[in-house]
Amino acid sequence: MTTITFIGAGSVEFTRDLIADVLGFPELADAQLVLHDIDDQRLAASVGTAESVARQRGVRPTITACSDRRKALEGTDFVINMIAVGGHAATTADFEIPAWYGLRQTIADTIGVGGIFRGLRTFPVLEGIARDMLEICPDAWLLNYTNPMAMNVAYLAAVAPTLKVVGLCHSVYWTVRGLCEVIGVPFDEVSYSSAGVNHQAWVLRWERDGQSLYPLLDARIAADPELRRRVRVDMYRRFGFYPTETSEHSSEYVPWYLHHDVEVERLRIAVGAYIGISEDNLAEYASTRAALQAGEALEIDRDSTEYAPQVIHSIVTGTKRTIFGNVRNTGLITNLPQDYAVEVPCAVDELGVHPMHVGALPPALAALNRAFVAPGELAVQAALTGDPKLVRNAAMLDPNTAATLTVDQIWALCNELTAAHGDLMPESLRGALVL
């Protein structure tokens, strides 16, 4: 029997989708699902959600709530991490304080000052989970969903190098689905591969019957001026490979768009979009709770295609799959910084998750990725060494931040965000740093 522990299970919509997928596999129908959250109300809601899903799937897993994290790890095979340290309040700070300085962000969870501070407040909790796992369930896999993905995976690789970790994200999958819709080719007929860094990986191959589908995309773009009003299309036209995140998200990873009003307008970029998403999440949580209290069945997303249930199923049953996973760069992509995280194709089978060798990315893609990696790498180093200067350097190296603010503004902004996040920050990085 397979045991799966959900850390941060109170993200009930996500828990619902994952559990629905898990229980959709007959081999996992009797799984033991251990739900953990530090918020008791959310934990209760996650249990209700799991039970509701199980009923709809018509299966009888063992569902356990566990507010003690170490206990939740006992005997487990898989740990799915979905924590959001600081919650909605911290997210709001990550947007509002930079906005006050004139810095635009869209999602702010990956790089940028938002991503950097999200990383910094996540690392201590992540390290606790890793330490507990090495002690309590050293053979279990940690399947991480928490952002900033690349920073988190790199941080784990540094503090818990022997832990089995893979970071999972659906951006590659949905990117290719979307591309197929654009050109009107059925997704099922398509083969594809991608590599790079999470949220800025590149669709390196996208083929049907051995032929590249990019020429079809070119034709569509040429025919449709509105298509050209997407950040990703703009980047694709200039770099030759499609990036794997939404246009909103992609806009904040590069230095070209957000600080020009004209570009925000031209590319219809939804500045501050994530604030709304975060509020929607709160609302959806409330309605889920209401539905559970009312005894209503929760709707299952039949189109869910998250990797974690697939990875678990492959490891349990030996079914071979390829996923795009986030792992330490051990020479996998030769022209990106070693030891930071990369997102590469991984074969999954009963022996685990096996990253495939990619080699060198086309040089312009590698150069872009390296600029994307810089703030993450420095944020990780800041936490590892306890050097608060590196937090400021991380923000200075962030392409969008660097293109928008002066160095004094960046410094002040970091001091302010440090104060705002208070005790969530790693101990050595708290307090203002005055030049």
Q: Is the Cβ of residue 64 or residue 322 nearer to a copy of itself in the bound state?
A: 322
Give the Cα separation of 311 and 315 in Å (integer).
6
Tell me whether residue 170 is one of the annotated catalytic residues. Answer: yes
Q: Which of 402, 413, 420, 424 binds a copy of itself (CB under 8 A)?
A: 402
Nearest distance, CB of residue 106 and a copy of itself, angstroms: 17
Query: Which string of b and e fits 131-145 if b means at least 16 CB within 10 Å?
Result: ebbeebbeebbbbbb
52 vs 247, which CB is nearer to a copy of itself?
Answer: 247
Output 8 or 399, the one with its CB closest to a copy of itself: 399
348 touches 314 (CB < 8 A) = yes
Minimum distance between the CB of residue 330 and a copy of itself, rounded to whole angstroms? 6
Q: How far is the CB of 45 from a copy of itself (least distance, A)?
A: 33
**Cα-based angle 86, 78, 355 (whole degrees, multiple of 5):** 95
Q: Binders of a copy of itself among 300-319, rule CB under 8 A?
A: 318
- In the set 403, 412, 415, 416, which binds a copy of itself (CB under 8 A)? 403
Helix (H, G, I), strand (E, B) or coil at 211: strand
Q: Which is nearer to a copy of itself, 86 or 196 (CB)?
A: 196
**Residue 293 C-beta: closest distance to a copy of itself, Å:** 41
Contact region for a copy of itself (CB under 8 A) — 38-46, 60-68, 256-264, 299-307? Answer: 256-264
Using the rule CB under 8 A, is 177 a contact of a copy of itself?
A: no
Q: Which is nearer to a copy of itself, 44 or 374 (CB)?
A: 374
As a whole number of angstroms, the distance between CA 348 and CA 5 comes to: 20
Taking residues 114 to 153 in sequence order and writing x for each that binds a copy of itself by CB under 8 A, - otherwise, the string is -------------------------x--------------
Look at the block and give the residue holding tokens 């962030």: 398
Return the number of the residue (204 or 291) whose C-beta is nearest a copy of itself: 204
Chain mean position to CA 66? 25
C-alpha–C-alpha distance, residues 187 and 178, integer Å: 9
DSSP code, position 227 = G
Using CB under 8 A as the binding criterion, the count of chain residues that bind a copy of itself stands at 63
Q: What's the token pair of residue 235?
A: 């980047």
In angstroms, give the least distance from the CB of 275 to a copy of itself: 26
What single-letter amino acid sits at 425? M
Q: Which residue has the tokens 């997407």?
A: 230
Q: Which of 36, 170, 249, 259 is catalytic?
A: 170
d(CA 101, CA 99): 5
Length of the chain as a residue count: 435
62: part of which helix (H) or strand (E)? strand 62-65
Task: Write the Ramachandran bin of 312: left for phi over 0, alpha for psi from -120 to 50, otherwise beta.
Answer: alpha
| Shortest distance in whole angstroms from residue 357 CB to a copy of itself | 5
Q: Which of 70, 205, 220, 430 lies at the binding interface for a copy of itself (CB under 8 A)? A: 205
CA-based diameter of the chain, in Å?
62
Residue-wise burial string across 326-361, b where 16 or more C-beta atoms lie within 10 A, e elsewhere: bbbbeebbeebbeebbbbbbbbbeeeebebeebeeb
Pick the stretch among 21-29, 38-46, 48-56, 258-266 that binds a copy of itself (CB under 8 A): 258-266
26 vs 359 by CB, closer to a copy of itself: 359
Binding to a copy of itself in span 331-390, by CB under 8 A: 331-332, 334-335, 337-338, 345, 347, 349-351, 354-357, 359, 363-364, 367-368, 370-371, 374, 377-378, 381, 389-390
The two three-digit tokens of residue 434, written as one number: 């005055």
**CA end-to-end span of the chain:** 57
Q: In a 3-state reduction of DSSP, which class is residue 347?
A: strand
Q: If binding is defined by CB under 8 A, does position 98 make contact with a copy of itself?
A: no
Q: Which residues bind a copy of itself (CB under 8 A)?
A: 139, 191, 193, 205, 207, 210, 234, 237-240, 254-257, 259-260, 262-263, 318, 320-322, 330-332, 334-335, 337-338, 345, 347, 349-351, 354-357, 359, 363-364, 367-368, 370-371, 374, 377-378, 381, 389-390, 392-393, 396-397, 399, 402-403, 406-407, 411, 435
Residues taking part in catalysis: 170
